[in-house]
Amino acid sequence: MKKQKISLKFLKKYQKESILAPLFKLLEALMDLTVPLVVAQIIKNGIGQNDMSYVLKMFGLLLLLAVLGMVFSFTAQWFAAKASTGYATDLRQELFDNIQDLTYAELDQLGTDTLITRMTSDVLQVQTGLNLALRLLLRSPFIVFGAMVVAFTIDVKTALIFVVTIPVLAVVVFTIMWLSIPLYKKVQSALDKLLGTLRENLLGVRVIRAFRKEDAEVQQFNQENDTLTKYNEHVGRLSALMNPLTYILINVAIITLIYVGAIRVDGGIIAQADIVALYNLMALIIVELIKLSSLIITINKSLACLERIEAVLVVKRQMVYKMEHVKEDKSAPAVVFDQVSFSYPQAGADAISNISFVANRGETIGIIGGTGCGKST
């Protein structure tokens, strides 16, 4: 089974919610795109003509748009929350069931600490990413490109500023996204190692104290903590470039918009109200880009975590359980070992070999032997 199918099969139960959540967000976006046009009409036909009745009527329309936008937003939030939490629940359950069927060799290979991280932190990150994606992944680009289309209905020449600005912004955003994904994988791997060290210290605290290894363990923990901090700082610095770069581009676009708009207003080609509408559309793009940058950072983390989860889900189960009806025989032995051998993964020889014994009900078996003979095994 391909990884994509493993991830998507849990979302099939929530197809309706996954469609309705972005749909209602798009309806909310339409309300937001309509507001600058209504404001422009208020300035042009209401305030400009000193028509207070028209201003009040348009003000009522603005209130209606706000109420409809709020209703659409709440509805989308509900559907997105239902889909994301349900998806995360099913994914976590599947991951837990898969872990139960792993052999000891596979558990040792993957590591207990990383499995705990994947079941808790990684699944929660995937849930958060899915929630935001259902609400904003379509809404933000829709508003950005919708604002450009609306700008063309106001003035074609001024709208060309939007045509130049939006692709440049897209290049900046997706470049940072492309560079961030590998870093988030390193962050999660470093977190696994740190949690593994912490878990070993908590489980073996008596042994550590008995052999006076506290300083060595503290040094190891500090090294792994510093590694995690370094990766977090690296990805944080890269992600921090998102807002300044987008703000610089948007502010340059606004300055150009006002300059070009002033020339065209002086020429009588467009009205001052149209410049206000274009400025509001550009401001709307700023807000959506801030949301989009946050969304991209979260999605990057979610994709890295989802890939780690899928790495466990794609492990083929070697343990096969057969359902057999067995009648209880109270006279039969409780435990029987018949020529049992056991070896650890990548070990050169068996830890124990050809062990045979019978333990009857109520008996206590004692295992004795020299150091390293395999008693613990």
Residues 213 and 278 in one domain: yes
Last residue of a domain, one of 260, 282, 313: 313
Would you say residue 110 has pLDDT above 80?
no
Number of other CB atoms surrounding residue 326 within 10 Å: 5
pLDDT > 70? residue 338: yes
Q: Let me know whether 50 and 154 are in one domain.
A: yes
3-state DSSP call for residue 268? Answer: coil
Are residues 272 and 337 located together in one domain of the fold? no
Average pLDDT over residues 153-171: 84
Q: Which of 287, 313, 339 is the last residue of a domain?
A: 313
Neighbouring CB atoms inside 10 A of 319's CB total 9
pLDDT tens column, 238-250: 878 877 888 888 8
Please check the confidence at residue 194 and state whether its pLDDT lies above 80. yes
The pLDDT, as a whole number, for residue 70 is 93
How many domains in the chain? 2
Range of the domain at 169: 3-313
The confidence score (pLDDT) of residue 322 equals 65
pLDDT at residue 372 greater than cutoff 70: no
Same domain, 102 and 177: yes
pLDDT at 335: 78
Residue 39 CB-density burial (10 A; 0-12 exposed, 13-18 middle, 19+ buried) = middle
Residue 365 lies inside a defined structural domain of this protein: yes
Same domain, 304 and 339: no
Look at residue 363 and tell me if it is in a domain: yes
Helix (H) or strand (E) holding 16: helix 15-41
Rounded to an integer, what distance in angstroms lies between the CA atom of residue 282 and that of residue 288?
10
Q: Can you tell me whether residue 50 is helix, strand or coil?
A: coil
Q: Compute the average pLDDT of residues 63-85.
A: 92
Residue 318 lies in a domain: no
d(CA 44, CA 108): 72
Q: What is the mean pLDDT of the segment spanning 295-310?
A: 81
Q: What is the mean pLDDT of the chain?
A: 81
Report pLDDT for 1.
42
| Beta strands 335-342; 352-359: pairing state | antiparallel
At 304, the pLDDT band (50, 70, 90 cuts) reads confident
**Residue finishing a domain among 313, 337, 367:** 313
Instruction: DSSP letter for 58, please.
Output: H
Asked whether residue 324 is assigned to any structural domain, the reply reads no
Q: Which residue has the higher pLDDT, 4 or 185?
A: 185
> Does residue 337 share a domain with residue 218?
no
Taking the C-alpha atoms of 269, 270, 272 and 273 in order, what is their torsion angle to the nearest 10 degrees?
Answer: 160
Domain containing 86 — which CATH number? 1.20.1560.10
What are the structure tokens assigned to 186, written together?
A: 């390193």
Query: Highest mean pLDDT range out of 68-82, 114-128, 162-176, 177-191?
Result: 68-82
- Is 322 inside any structural domain? no
Under DSSP, is residue 340 helix (H, G, I), strand (E, B) or coil?
A: strand
Q: Are residues 344 and 293 in the same domain?
A: no
- Shared domain for 231 and 339, answered yes or no, is no
Q: Could you read off the pLDDT of 49-70 as tens digits, one per residue? A: 777 888 888 889 889 999 999 9
How far is residue 374's CA from residue 357's CA, in Å, rounded to a whole number? Answer: 15
Mean pLDDT of 270-284: 83
pLDDT band at 2 (very low <50, low <70, confident <90, very high): very low
| Angle value at C-alpha 351, between 349 and 357, nearest 5 degrees | 130
At residue 329, the pLDDT reads 65
Does one domain contain both 349 and 213?
no
Mean pLDDT value of segment 313-331: 67
Cα dist. 67→63, 224, 252 in Å? 6, 51, 33
Q: Residue 182's pLDDT is what?
A: 80
Q: What pLDDT is recorded for position 72?
A: 93
